[in-house]
Amino acid sequence: MGIEYLSTRGTAPALGFGDALLTGLAADGGLYCPAEVPELDLGGLDETSSYADIALVVMWPYVEGSIGREDFTDIVEETYRVFRHQDVVPLVDLGNNIHLLDLSLGPTLAFKDVALQLVGRLLDHELAMRDERVTVLAATSGDTGSAAIEALKNRDRINIVVLHPHGRVSDVQRRQMTTVVAPNVRNVAVDGTFDDCQNLVKAAFGNPQHRAEFGLAAVNSINWARVMAQIVYYVSASLRLTRGQAPVSFSVPTGNFGNILAGWYAKQMGNSTGQLIVASNRNDVLTRFFDTGSLTANQVVPSLSPSMDIQISSNFERILWEASGRDGQTIATLLAQFQSEGDVEVPTDWVGAIRADFVAGRADDEETLVEMRRVYSEIGRQIDPHTAVGLQVGRSLRVDEREPLVVLSTASPAKFPDAAEKATGERPELPSFLSELHQRREHFERTTADLDAVVDQLRAVSSGR
């Protein structure tokens, strides 16, 4: 028997991995989390192990019972061959015991590929086993959308509808979504913010009729399988830097809290971990939570790092749930209040538990540019603005310079050429396989931020219009 998955809101049924993969958001509005966290068994692995081998060791206990060992091995090996470096996520030495972990070598140049390339294949496998079809509905602040489309395009058991906030994603980000021509893909530009898009997705999932009519599935970072896939690179970085024998700290440019949450799970599994540093841009709901103990959503302010322009970090619910001692009922009440009032005080013992595992800081646009410029002048490397936020905050909150600090480099600077040019005077070029991007024709629908409009889009893609 494999691990069971429990909803953070306590009333939806416990599920196995395959069902949790297909369900995404739980029927009670909660997120599925593993009922037990398996112990990491690094025996047989060392700093020379392949990424796929590490991935198998880390993820197998989470999927066992839902998928055969051979099928899973094949899927894992095929997934990581897609990446343009043999280490999949290579480390880059910045000096002073600071390293970038380059997560941007997948098809859409952002870290979302690392998990979504796996999740797309897992979904396909699960649907084939069940002889079922689904419609994936996703909201994107820029990078999830293209990574999901790349992972799911032309898969015949899956339709995909992606909502992005109109005018609030970068040109490259939008084109990476809207220039894909595939019969199962539909892009929708919503007049609103990313939080509006995310709320529309939650509203669609919250409606049992829509869920059943379209067979809705989610690949947003609320899907457990994405968090699971991200655990692997924390373990791989620790193996490469210290053979997993001494603590490594991680600084993570954070929006929805999915990426850094995987670092927390790695630590629970026994990965030797120092600080987990939550780095925000000036949309700093999480930094303020660590300062005050309250979650207070402000207006979203556009920044140079748009994939972190978020005031509701969905995955934070998972850490609240663990901090509460898995008190689903209180979580449900608390988050309903946050949803309706934009403000909620978190019980102090929960806050204490979370502060024991994370520290948080913010960097504004000016600090972001300074960091991008500094790295360029020191080692001649362009970094993207999200990575720069992680680096700036990581440097300022790090407590022990003898301990390696790994900054998760979440995107290629070529995705954010305006910011890179502003910082360094040089415009980074897209890799050759994307060089035609600006010539290709775009396809998207534009709608208001309401559920009826989204339902129309779901109908359209389902009926093949």
Ligand X SMILES: *Cc1c(COP(=O)(O)O)cnc(C)c1O
- Footprint on this chain of ligand X (rule: CB under 6 A): 110, 112, 143, 221, 253-259, 307-308, 386, 410-411
State in angstroms the smallest separation of the CB of 373 from ligand X: 19
**What CA–CA distance (Å, rounded) separates 401 from 395?**
9
Closest Cα to residue 358, out of 449, 453, 286?
286
Q: Could you give the C-alpha distances from 86 to 243, 269, 388, in angstroms and in order?
A: 19, 26, 25
State in angstroms the smallest separation of the CB of 232 from ligand X: 15
CB 364 within 8 A of CB 282: yes
State in angstroms the smallest separation of the CB of 359 from ligand X: 15
State in angstroms the smallest separation of the CB of 357 from ligand X: 16
For the chain, percent helix, then strand, then coil, each to nearest 5?
Answer: 45, 15, 35
Q: Which is nearer to ligand X, 126 or 143 (CB)?
A: 143
Q: Is 112 a catalytic residue?
A: yes
State in angstroms the smallest separation of the CB of 227 from ligand X: 9
Question: b vs e for 390-415, b when ≥16 Cβ sit within 10 Å of the residue's Cβ?
Answer: bbbbbbebbeeeebbbbbbbbbbbbb
Residue 94: count of CB within 10 angstroms of its CB? 18
| Residue found by looking up tokens 């936020």 in the block | 389
Among the listed residues 112, 202, 267, 415, the single catalytic one is 112
Q: Is 130 helix (H, G, I), strand (E, B) or coil?
A: helix
**Strand 158-165 and strand 405-409: pairing?**
unpaired
Maximum CA extent, the chain: 59
Active site amino acids: 112
